[in-house]
Amino acid sequence: MTASAPKRSAGSAAAAAPRRTGKRSSVPLTISRPELIVNGSDRDFRELVHNLFGFFALHERLRSGHGKYIGLGGVEYTVLISIGHLALEGEVNVKTVADHLHLSGAFITATTNRLLKMGYIHKTVDTADRRRVTLTVSSKGRSALETLAPVQRRLNDIEFAALSRQEFFMLNDLLRRMIADGHRAAALQDYYLAGGQET
């Protein structure tokens, strides 16, 4: 017969449990604008940021799925469909796409080179100015986008089902302004990372 483990008294159990002092750990605020601080806390702001992160993580998953449906990576699909839509407004080149997607010209050049090799787009070089290159969607690219469109419409309808027409326009306007502010914040962060000091 084996000896049973000694019973712990209520006192010893209480001593082993971590004490709760009722005080929360001090964490510095992540924002200082009074418009975004509620009752002295940045909790609602952080919830907003994390909700944005969650939405865009899900959107990235859907974007990758759109690409996979037509044999492309997510970013390749995005560049392809952007070229198609931008072409409705005029001539499209690497800078046009880079500005539209808020990405670097080098990144768009590398992506369009992959799309060109796969036959999804055409690149036309201006004979008078070799630096001027026009991007257009090929017949293969158009066929791929037409194949994707019914599935894409259904998924987009579900993903953005929460928006009314008024909210749709408001959100688009807000995002335009937030992207501009995001560029400013990124430039300031680059300054700090390069050793710059806050003034």
Whether the per-residue pLDDT at 2 is higher than 50: the answer is no
- pLDDT range class, residue 198, cuts 50, 70, 90: confident
- 3-state secondary structure at position 30: coil
Q: pLDDT digits over 3-28, tens only?
A: 555 555 545 454 555 555 555 557 89
Query: Residue 129: helix, strand or coil by DSSP?
Result: coil
> What is the reported pTM?
0.77
| Per-residue buried b or exposed e for 28-49, using 16+ beta carbons within 10 Å of the residue's own CB | eeeeeeeeeeeeeebeebeeee
Which fold is adopted by the domain 41-150? Arc Repressor Mutant, subunit A (1.10.10)
- What amino acid is encoded at 51 in this protein? N
Distance CA 17, CA 7 (A): 16
User: Is there a contact between 87 and 137 (Cβ–Cβ < 8 Å)?
Assistant: yes
Judged on CB neighbours under 10 Å (0-12, 13-18, 19+), 88 is exposed
Contact 157, 109 (CB under 8 A): no
Predicted local confidence at residue 1, as pLDDT: 47
Tens digit of each residue's pLDDT (9 = 90 or more) over 63-118: 999 999 999 999 999 999 999 999 999 999 999 999 999 999 999 999 999 999 99
Q: What is the pLDDT of residue 138?
A: 97
What are the E-state strand segments in 1-139?
Answer: 121-125, 133-137
- pLDDT above 50: residue 43: yes
Q: Percent of the chain beyond pLDDT 90?
A: 78
| Ranges of each domain in the chain | 41-150, 161-199
Q: Give the span between the Cα atoms of 122 and 126, in whole angstroms.
A: 13
Mean pLDDT, the chain, rounded, equals 89
Kind and range of the H or E run holding 99:
helix 94-101
